[in-house]
Amino acid sequence: MLKVYHLEGGNFSEAGSASSDIKKLLKRLGLQSKIIKKVAVAMYEAEINVVAHAYSGDINVVVAKDHIKILVSDKGPGIPDVDKAMTEGFSTASEKVREMGFGAGMGLPNIKKNVDDLNIKTEVGKGTELSMRIDFQH
């Protein structure tokens, strides 16, 4: 099944509502708590990334019986150096964002830790496309 969400840049209070909704869905499907937690963490971090860095973003979630795929595509500045962005503690978040308690440079590393597959397509000045997959059985 498909779930679609939209995010606006800078709207921090809205970030997290998509992952909450998916969390609720996965509970309904009766998935294990540790899988739900992984999905919720990865998706929440992705949502924060969009509102902290991009102008807007769309999330498409496809739930299958044995895995979940999450595609997050945003219109934004893109990531100039993906390897650097994957390093724990590296952040390009603005001072304003940091003051709100975000931008610790843990977003992408945290996503990677929680997913089975992660793909990043990015173009500087245009935007970023993050696709991730989490398997239900291990």
Partner 1 sequence: MKDNEKNKKRYYHSVRLKEDDCKGCTHCIRTCPTQAIRVYDGKATIIEERCIDCGECIRTCPNFAKYAHTDSLDMLNDFKYTVALPAPSFMAQFDPDDIPLDKVYTALNLMGFEYIFEVAAAAELVNKATEKFMQENKKRPVISSACPAVVRLILTRFPEYAEYIAPLEPPMDIAAKISKDMVMKKTGCNEKEVGVFFISPCPAKVTAVNQPEGKKKSPVDGVFSMTDVFDAVMSRIQEIKETKNYEHAGKYGIIWGVHEGEIRNVHVEKKIAVAGIHNIISFFENVDDKEFSSYEFIEVQACIPGCVGGVLAPTDKFMAKTRLKRLAGRMKESTVKREKVFEDYDMKFFIMEFFNEGRKLQPRSINRLDTDIEKAMEKAEKIDVLMKEFPGIDCGICGCPTCETLAEDVVQGKASKFDCIFVLKEKIKNIKEELGDISSGKRIKDENK
To partner 1, the closest distance from the beta carbon of 41 in angstroms equals 5
Residues 6+ apart with CB under 8 A from 37: none
Does residue 44 bind partner 1 (CB under 8 A)? yes
Among 18, 36, 61, 97, binds partner 1 (CB under 8 A): 36
Determine, following the binding rule CB under 8 A, whether residue 46 of this chain makes contact with partner 1.
no
Contact region for partner 1 (CB under 8 A) — 21-29, 77-85, 86-94, 120-128? 21-29
Give the number of residues in contact with partner 1, rule: CB under 8 A.
Answer: 19
Nearer to partner 1 among residue 20 and residue 119 (C-beta)? 20
Interface residues toward partner 1, by CB under 8 A:
1, 16, 20, 24-25, 27-31, 33, 36-37, 40-41, 44, 63, 65, 136
